[in-house]
Every structure is written in C-alpha cells, then in structure tokens.
C-alpha cells in the first residue's frame, strides 16, 4: 500500500454553477477527504482557481487530477507536493478583552507569532495570524488558557514555484486542438 502524503491540487476553470459540486463528487467517490478548499478569481479574466488540499497516495491523486481534467468547465488541473508551492492560511481568533487588559501575555504572543490585533472592543479582541496550519494551530494552543471565544482558519491559498504558467498550458492545449482539427480534415 502506498504512503499517504499531503498534496495540493490546483484546478483552473471557467466559473460555472455546479462545478464545485462535480469536483467534490470526484473526491467522495474515491473516499478522499478534502482537508481544505479555497476558490477565487485568477489573474486571467474569466478563469477561476480552486486550491484543494488532500492526504492520499500519489497514484490516487494522479487519477483524481485526470478525472477532474475531463470535466467540461475545467481548463487545466495540476497536483503539487508541498515543496513545489508557496502557501499560506489565515486564522482569526477572538479572545476576551479582559484577558488582554489583565496581563501582557497575549500582547507578547501577538509579537512572538507575528499576529495582528484587528479590533478591540470592551467584550472581545480579534487577532489575525497568517502562516502555515501548524503555526496558526500553535498560536491557538497558546491562547486557549486565556479563553477562546471564537476561532476560524481559512483554506490554503497557494502559488506555484517557478514553473510553466497556466497561459502556456492553455496555448499548448489550443494548439493541440487546432492540430487535431486540421489533421482530421478530409479532401474529396
């Protein structure tokens, strides 16, 4: 049995209703849990990006990416190991303001973890930490003794390390389609 490993899958698509549902069905059918999922506009007009984090085997992630690419609205899909991407997550923490005013420990944690204070009210203080999941989780554990009122972490946002750009892949795909169309023309 292959080792399970963390993979980040990037899917580039047109923005059509129902695509997210069709994507998640692919993972569900293969019994792969999605650890995080983030979607946003891409810098190419009309293109959207999905960033999906999973723990699975390399052979399974290859199969999933191949199946994703067969979806009509998908332009291209890739998978990456962690060392091939630059990524971050954002975490928001809400702690009682009284914990902040009675001790300077939270202030020390904010500095130590390069977090930011977003809002201070009489009832709560909102903090923000950007980093990898392990870093945001570590700050959560340090804040728990002061009373966590609320905590939320985003999905991963990621860019690839220097590789071929999506626009190049799309041009290659278009060139291959044009070549296939021209070679299938019959002359009578």
Note the pTM of the prediction, 2 decimals. 0.80
Ranges 45-49, 98-102, 175-179: which has the least confidence: 175-179
* pLDDT score of 32: 96
Q: Within the chain, where are the H helices?
A: 19-29, 58-69, 97-102, 105-112, 133-143, 166-183
State mean pLDDT over 115-134. 96
pLDDT for the residue numbered 103:
85
Q: Single out the residue of 6, 4, 178, 25 nearest to residue 82, CA to CA.
A: 6
- Band (186; pLDDT cuts 50, 70, 90): very low
18: left (phi over 0), alpha (psi -120 to 50) or beta: left
Residue 123 is predicted with a pLDDT of 96
Give the pLDDT confidence score for residue 92 in this predicted structure.
98
Res 188: pLDDT: 45
**Inter-residue contact 70 to 90 (CB < 8 Å):** no
Average model confidence (pLDDT) for the chain?
89
Q: Count of CB atoms within 10 A of residue 151's CB?
A: 17
pLDDT digits (tens, 9 = 90+) for 2-56: 789 999 999 999 988 899 999 999 999 999 999 999 999 998 888 999 999 999 9
pLDDT at site 161: 86
The DSSP call for residue 80 is E
User: What is the reported pLDDT for 143?
Assistant: 96
5-84+160-171 with 86-153: one CATH topology?
yes
| Residue 171 predicted with pLDDT over 50 | yes
| pLDDT at residue 70 tops 80 | yes
Say if residues 29 and 22 touch (Cβ distance below 8 Å).
Answer: no
Band the pLDDT of 178: cuts 50, 70, 90. Answer: low
5-84+160-171: CATH topology: Alpha-Beta Plaits (3.30.70)
Domain definitions of the chain by residue range: 5-84+160-171, 86-153
Q: What is the DSSP letter of 165?
A: -
Judge whether residue 167 has pLDDT over 80: no
Is the pLDDT reported for residue 187 higher than 50?
Answer: no
Q: How far apart are CA 112 and CA 114, in angstroms?
A: 6
CATH fold label, 86-153: Alpha-Beta Plaits (3.30.70)
């Amino acid at each position: 049995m292959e080792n399970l490993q963390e993979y980040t899958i990037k899917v580039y698509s047109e923005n059509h209703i129902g695509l997210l549902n069709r994507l998640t069905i692919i993972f569900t059918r293969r019994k792969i849990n999605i650890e995080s999922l983030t979607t946003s506009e891409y810098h190419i007009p009309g293109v959207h990006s999905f960033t999906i984090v999973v723990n699975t085997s390399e052979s399974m992630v290859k199969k999933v990416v191949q199946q994703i690419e067969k979806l009509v609205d998908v332009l291209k899909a890739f998978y990456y190991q962690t060392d091939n991407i630059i990524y971050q997550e954002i975490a928001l923490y809400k702690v009682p303001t009284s914990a902040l005013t009675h001790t300077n420990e939270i202030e020390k944690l904010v500095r130590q973890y390069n977090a930011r204070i977003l809002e201070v009210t009489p009832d709560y203080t909102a903090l923000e930490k950007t980093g990898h999941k392990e870093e945001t989780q570590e700050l959560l554990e340090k804040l728990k003794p002061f009373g966590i009122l609320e905590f939320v972490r985003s999905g991963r946002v990621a860019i690839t390390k220097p590789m071929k750009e999506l626009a190049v892949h799309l041009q290659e795909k278009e060139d291959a389609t044009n070549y296939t169309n021209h070679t299938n023309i019959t002359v009578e």
